[in-house]
Amino acid sequence: MITRAQHYMHGHDRRLNFTEIAPLLSQPVVEAALAIPSWMACEGGVDRSAARRAFAPKLPSNIIRRRMKGGPDAFAMEILRSNYDLVRNRLLGGQLAANGIINKPELEVALAKDRMTHGTNYVRLLLLLDTESWIEAWQSSADQHNISARESVAS
């Protein structure tokens, strides 16, 4: 929160002439937020638990229980789930596994259907998929270069 406030205070062009109003950065609100102990903010492993308790009487239970917003995380997890076989085959049969760069038994555990999208596993899996795609693009480029070189030598 403090870094966001600093960005707010110093993160715009001062030549722009407009009045800034930020009621959520007023002293009483900031002091109240900073008075909440860090352990209480994620009590029971639930992010924003103090805020959830405070607003529970006023909001629908599905909003209070929500763990994700409608951002890219849920979308990324759905992509992994709906392409499970493709993801599994690409990672376990890819260059990273074939060259011993990743621990295949640990990857198999992370790829279990019930664990794939838990915690930050999905982020790691997406990074591995990105790396496999990068390797494939470079190999394809190198192969194309070699074919062109052979054709020019042959002619």
Q: Where are the domains of the chain?
A: 2-65, 72-154
pLDDT score for 80: 92
Torsion angle defined by CA atoms of residues 133, 130, 83 and 123, in that order, rounded to the nearest 10 degrees: 170
DSSP letters of 60-118?
-HHHHH----SSHHHHHHHHHHHTHHHHHHHHHTSHHHHTT-S-HHHHHHHTSTTTTTS
How big is the chain, counted in residues?
155
**Which pair of structure tokens corresponds to residue 75?**
């979308």
Model-wide pTM > 0.85: no
pLDDT in tens, the chain (155 residues): 455 555 555 555 667 676 677 788 889 998 988 898 888 878 887 888 888 889 999 999 888 888 766 678 888 888 999 999 999 999 999 999 999 999 999 999 999 988 888 778 888 999 999 999 999 999 888 777 776 666 666 66
Q: Are 96 and 131 in contact (CB under 8 A)?
A: yes
Q: Are 61 and 55 in contact (CB under 8 A)?
A: no
Number of H helices, E strands in the chain: 10, 0
